[in-house]
Amino acid sequence: MSSSLAIEPELDEAPSEEPRRADWLGHGRAAGWRDFKALPMPHRLDEKWRFSPVKDLDLSVYNRALPVPPAVREGLIGRCSGLAESAGRMVFANDHLVEREVYSKELARKGVIWAPIEKAAVEHEEIFRRHFMTQEVVLGSKKFAALHKAMVKSGVFLYVPRGVEVELPIEVFHWLHGAGASSFPHTLLVAEEMSKVTLIDYFESADADAPGFACGVNDLHLGPGANLTYVSVQNWSRKALSFQINSTVVSRDASALSMNLNLGAAVARAESVSRLVGTGGRSDMLAVTVASGAQQFDQRTLQDHQQPNTTSDLLYKNVLSDKARTIFSGLIRVEPHAHRTDAYQKVRNLLLSDDAEANSMPGLEILADEVRCSHGATSGQIDEEELFYLLSRGIPPPAAKKLVTAGFLNEVVERLPSRAVKDKLRGLIEARQ
């Protein structure tokens, strides 16, 4: 384990034509770098890193990603496989914007801001600054959030004004190219009062076997009554190290549904926090993980009920084969005055191999009254009678297991509101099995 980096932030990068950026984004960079260097690397005795493969977090082998040559760029744009219909699409390669297409009028409508963050930080400084990395990182990855802040170059800023509904999903592709390259993708979404939007992030490696490092931050802010569906498809190379720090802030009567589809990386850690800060808010936290080979997925969650009459519903499902490992640690916290809260947390592990290992650590911290809470984690193998039933219809064992597995994960996928998105995710899961 080493916290020394082959990469260094571009602290002196302050071209004269962008003085305002140098003012504060550059300032944040320096602060992030200081914090990163000052904070300790995770230790296996740290409760927030319990069971984590902390010895595999060697950052010294990664380097700064270079801009990709035009021919490669075109190739990657061509490989972006999203939905048949979307409102728009942005493509990043090694943290450089390489394509931005707007397909739907709704997205071009007055008031919707959809721009790479380095542009948004300058052109919409006030609103950007009000939301950029304002959420405290509480699940263990403070050091990596600081690193992100120091290194972030690009990503998406999406601002949906009051009452605006964007019907079709917006898609963003992040490509990592080059052996040992690193990426710091950022997503900042602000959905104002009574707005509605769906955003999908795809994280992919150009070379499925190249080592790489990703350290991303997603911040989703929902105004009163806003409705957001957010999907992240983590499909980095099977040799990548990935950190994803997600936060959702749900205001009064707003509804957020987030889905993490975890397919790629050798070691991936995802921290997801939902903060219910207004009465009547709701957050659905979903995840599907397909773990095989020696992959390790480490998922940490917090459902933070700060106000009364709020609801959170977490459903995480993991399918493990070979020697794969998953870790889940989740906490439901209901603050003293957050009465009449409904909070659910359900983790299901399907073990397809005797060598696979699933660790689940559900937790509750309830300080209010009149609360409905349930949490539970189970692990099991494919039911023998169910398998025999499929075999008895002539379905060969490998196909039967695949079908049962897809069915197991389908319960999560079905929670998404859009048919097209559901079909897309099912296709990605099937291709991965």
Partner 1 sequence: MNSLIIKDLHVSVAEREIVRGLDLEVERGKVHAIMGPNGSGKSTLAKVLGGHPDYRVTSGEVWMDGVNLLELEPDERSRKGLFLAFQYPSEVPGVSIANFLRAALQARLGEGEELEATDYYAKLYEKMALLEMDRSFTARSVNENFSGGEKKRNEILQMAMLEPSYGILDETDSGLDIDALKIVANGVNSLRGPELGILLITHYQRLLNFIVPDYVHVMMQGRIVLSGGKELAFELEEKGYDWVKEEAGELAAV
**Residues forming the site for partner 1 (CB under 8 A):** 383-386, 388-397, 399-400, 403-404, 406-411, 414
Q: How far is the CB of 57 from partner 1 (least distance, A)?
A: 35
Judged by CB, which is closer to partner 1: 108, or 391?
Answer: 391
Q: How far is the CB of 144 from partner 1 (least distance, A)?
A: 34
Q: How far is the CB of 389 from partner 1 (least distance, A)?
A: 4
**Cα(4)–Cα(414) distance, integer angstroms:** 43
Count CA atoms within 13 Å of residue 13 on its CB side.
13
Which neighbouring-strand residues pair with 110?
Answer: none
State phi, psi for 200 to the nearest 5 degrees: -125, 125
Query: What's the gap between Cα 321 and its chain centre?
Result: 23
| Residue 62: strand, helix, or coil | coil
Q: How far is the CB of 274 from partner 1 (least distance, A)?
A: 25
Judged by CB, which is closer to partner 1: 164, or 421?
Answer: 421
Judged by CB, which is closer to partner 1: 163, or 407?
Answer: 407
Query: What's the gap between Cα 273 and its chain centre?
Result: 11
Q: How far is the CB of 409 from partner 1 (least distance, A)?
A: 7
Judged by CB, which is closer to partner 1: 370, or 385?
Answer: 385
| Residue 429: strand, helix, or coil | helix
Judged by CB, which is closer to partner 1: 124, or 422?
Answer: 422
Whether residue 166 contacts residue 199, with contact meaning beta carbons closer than 8 Å, is answered with no
Judged by CB, which is closer to partner 1: 163, or 396?
Answer: 396
Q: How far is the CB of 413 from partner 1 (least distance, A)?
A: 8
Q: How far is the CB of 415 from partner 1 (least distance, A)?
A: 12
Task: For 83-101, give the DSSP string.
Answer: -SS-SEEEEEETTEEEEEE
Residue type, 318: N
**Cα(402)–Cα(417) distance, integer angstroms:** 24
Which neighbouring-strand residues pair with 301?
Answer: 272, 330
Judged by CB, which is closer to partner 1: 55, or 393?
Answer: 393
| Residue 80: strand, helix, or coil | coil
